[in-house]
Structure 1
Amino acid sequence: MPSAGRRRRAIDGVDGCEGDPLKTLKRFCWNHISENHLNAIRMMNAGRQTVYASLLRGNNRLQQTSVRSPIQLQQWRPVRSIHRDSPGAPAIERVPTQVVSLQNGKTFNLKHPYLHLREKPQIQRGNQWDRTEEELTAIQDRIAAFPSRLIINPFEEPLEHNVFGLIDKISREPVQLDRLVFDQPLRVDILHRSTRRYLAGQRQGTHSAKRRDEVSGGGRKPRPQKGGGTSRQGSIRSPQWRHGGVVFPPKPRDYSFDLPKGVERLAMKIALSAKLKTGHLVIVENFDAIEHKTKTLVELQKQWGWRKPLYVTAGEVPANLEKASRSLDCEKTSQENLIVYKMLTHDFVVIERRAIMDLQERLLQQ
């Protein structure tokens, strides 16, 4: 009876191949995919709609029993935007030459910016595939708005948040917020790690106590070893003696520790997303209209209902805001010095339009 390998070769129609032909097939498949794997990568996030593309689709689809050269498997052609060669032709997505990782926001270049989509643009919602022509426009708009990076989900519209005047409370033109920054799921563990790192870095670590050998005196034996009817003692500076040394005393040390930059950036995104979802992120046009009187700022905070606010500016804190809030339970900082701990310890985050855009751009580029 022929072996399993011979039966498989007979079924596949492959003769004269030494070893398992499936290994040859796997090797060709691996070479084909490894050369182009960056072209089909999509940084997927749980619970989101994700665009899928298949490496092995089209007229030159790879047959599982084939042992052809990987060059003959599928013809790849460079594409740069979404278009149709002719009415009814397959829709092709032109992919940028850079992608951004969802986990750490790092940007890296594509070695081979080639990608083939299915015959028609499809969106996966659960187990259902929807084919809509209207969403092609959404992809084009998203790629046009962010030409330097690959959108995780181009079908999702950006978040819009109202911008208000600080004094008149009149709504201004809304600001566009990227979902990669302001639509992150809540991760308490990431926030905890960032908070611990900040608090550990704030510790002075100057505590100190003396050991037995560091306390002055106690060089001689206080009494003979035998004959006294008492316990044996070797020094009056032993830990059990009054004014003696300390066992394992605290010594000056540095409590600070490092976290990966990606974790710190993710913690900032999570904190901003949490404030936005709970309605505690307020975007104002600017702080120029604030007077230097504390009474005016107190009345303003009562009108808005701000409890223990954190004011975030684009540049240096204005002098009037600094003077007016000097004796109030609030804090001022610039967007460059904004940290997760300050956002978590304040109920409301009041930020300028230019500051929120600069902060978003900084988190996307890093």
Structure 2
Amino acid sequence: MNRCKWVAAALATVPAIAAAQSVTVYGLIDTGVEYVNHVGTAGHSVVRMPNLTATVPSRWGLRGTEDLGGGLKSVFVLESGFAPDSGTSGQGGRLFGRQAFVGLSDERWGQLTFGRQFTMQFWSTLESDILTSNIYGANALDSFRANPRADNVIGYKGKFGGVTIGATYSLGRDTVNAPAGANCAGENPADKSACRDWSAMLAYDANNWGVSTAYESMRGGAGATGGLTSSSRKDDRWIFGGYLALSSMKIGVGGTLRNNEGSTTPHSQLYYGGVSYDVTPAFNLAGEVYFLRFNNSPNKAWLEAIRGTYSFSKRTAVYLTAGFIDNRGNLALSVSSGDTSSAAPKPGGNQFGAMMGVKHTF
């Protein structure tokens, strides 16, 4: 990422303190126009500019380090998500809703951080879920996949050869009423278990393949939405996945086993498999299939998605992506995770979506 000249000038005015410090401004904006059919019981269609995601969510941020000597350094990240259609802040209107943490990092022992940050669910699916946060993908089937982070987190992640281990513990996972967060502030003297969240990950990466597994447990609390209205109720996920990277192709598979005590159908499974192929150095074609099912219920859904991306440079790309969802039983999940407004089909209905857009990284 390029360093902005004004940041460099500002740091130059602070003698001694800034001498061993590095600060980077970075970000990306990704948006376009989307078409979705079979919206609601009337089956209308909509053409819109999504406000949440496209191929990836738009964001900007600051990250920095200071060398403290002996392999030890301080680190920080302030990262803001925003909606490019309107310019508003994402993640429930937070200023730095994607990440806001500070910590210490050691090249031998790993990194310890404090603040709002990703849980291990994010890191465990980053390589195996080929389409990751694409507007048509796993986010449409599990809303927490679009927001795998928590407030008030103590986090650790370390890499030792090919092995990566990590863990997070949140004292109160969501202080803002964001859709995927379930409005659970925690840090309650009267109920010390309320809104706690913990996650742990173990991963192994070789030269061209890797596997990972993670576990995350979210506690409920008084006033929380999503059915987790008490600290005695939990929403647990066991996540697993693997990938194989070849010269011009990457294959990924994985899944999530979930036990959500706030749901009338608590046990569910989400599986996925995808392929990414570089047709040319500039053109990439990627596709993925997802399957969600609920135990002891007719509710299930298949989602298929495909995306073609042409890169003009390392920073600028255009793309066309499409998805189709087939709901069964009483499920009414939308194919699109790209807008916080409702675009769901009728229960048991199917839906098609397509989007073309442009992404620029800075």
- Range into which the TM-score falls when normalised by the shorter chain: under 0.3
| Structure ranking higher in strand proportion | 2
Q: Between Structure 1 and Structure 2, whose CA radius of gyration is higher?
A: 1
Q: Which structure would you say has the larger RCO, counting Cα contacts within 8 Å and 6 or more residues apart? A: 2
| Structure ranking higher in helix proportion | 1
